[in-house]
């Protein structure tokens, strides 16, 4: 049987050999192209996340410098939203952060627990953030939106970790720890610094940490493996 197979191969014409080689080359080229495109899309997603954080930090620095009479130790971040000339800039940065959180929530749900209804809780919390940016602090409902975002996103991270702990223990337990810390640390800060700006920034920092951890999960897992975890 093997002799017949080899004889048939030997009888293949030069044109057929060329076609077969071309077909194999095209398949390899297409595979390499798809891998390259996937890597490029991944880099774009990472750049979007990094750019959003950089924009937020730059905006925070600019607003703090421009509104020098507003001290972070005595205000809430919402004061930047009603400050003349920079209010639109601050609120615009919140919209960018809100869109980034939405994108990252969708990516994380699709990556770790596809079709999970937890995505709706993330979306509801993010909508509250966008409404916080849309309605200034002169209206009482602004604070309700802010509290709903704080509670909703923190609860989303906690539930995310709880649901994930069986299938991915490291990411699951890390998400729970970050969610708990994002509540405790701002509350402790509020006890010592009687303003909302520092606790709000502390909570935001933990959200950025969580997104970074889930985005670079392979690096995180390799790192903690060095400590036997």
pLDDT score for 19: 58
In terms of pLDDT, which residue wins out, 41 or 215? 215
Give residue 31's pLDDT band: very low, low, confident or very high (50, 70, 90): low
Q: By percentage, how much of the chain surpasses pLDDT 90? A: 39
In terms of pLDDT, which residue wins out, 181 or 35? 181
In tens, the pLDDT along 120-157 reads 999 999 999 999 999 988 899 999 999 999 999 999 99
pLDDT score for 115: 85
What is the pTM for the complete model shown?
A: 0.78
- At 153 the three-state DSSP class reads helix
3-state SS of 182-213?
HHHHHHHHHHHCCCCHHHHHHHHHHHHHHHHH
pLDDT score for 21: 57
Domain ranges for the chain: 34-215
pLDDT score of 175 more than 60: yes
- 73 alpha carbon, distance to own chain's centre: 28
Average confidence (pLDDT) over 161-189:
94
Measure the CA–CA gap between 37 and 111, rounded to whole angstroms.
18
In tens, the pLDDT along 77-103 reads 888 888 888 888 899 889 988 998 898
């Amino acid at each position: 049987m093997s002799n017949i197979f080899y004889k048939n191969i030997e009888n293949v014409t030069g044109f057929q050999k060329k076609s077969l080689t071309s077909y194999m080359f095209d398949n390899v080229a297409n595979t390499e192209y798809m891998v390259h495109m996937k890597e490029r899309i991944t880099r774009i997603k990472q750049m979007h996340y990094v750019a959003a954080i950089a924009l937020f930090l730059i905006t925070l620095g600019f607003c703090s410098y421009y509104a020098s009479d507003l001290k972070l130790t005595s205000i809430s971040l919402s004061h930047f939203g009603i400050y003349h000339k920079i209010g639109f800039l601050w609120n615009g940065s919140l919209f960018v952060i809100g869109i980034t959180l939405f994108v990252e929530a969708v990516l994380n749900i699709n990556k770790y627990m596809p079709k999970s209804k937890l995505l709706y809780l993330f979306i509801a919390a993010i909508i509250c953030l966008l409404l916080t940016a849309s309605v200034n602090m002169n209206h009482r409902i602004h604070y309700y939106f802010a509290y709903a975002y704080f509670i909703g996103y923190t609860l989303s991270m906690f539930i995310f970790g709880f649901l994930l702990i069986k299938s991915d223990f490291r990411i699951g337990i890390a998400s729970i720890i970050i969610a708990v810390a994002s509540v405790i640390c701002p509350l402790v800060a509020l006890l010592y610094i009687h303003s909302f700006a520092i606790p709000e920034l502390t909570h935001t920092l933990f959200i950025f940490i969580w997104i970074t951890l889930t985005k670079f999960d392979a690096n995180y897992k390799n790192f903690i493996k060095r400590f036997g975890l």
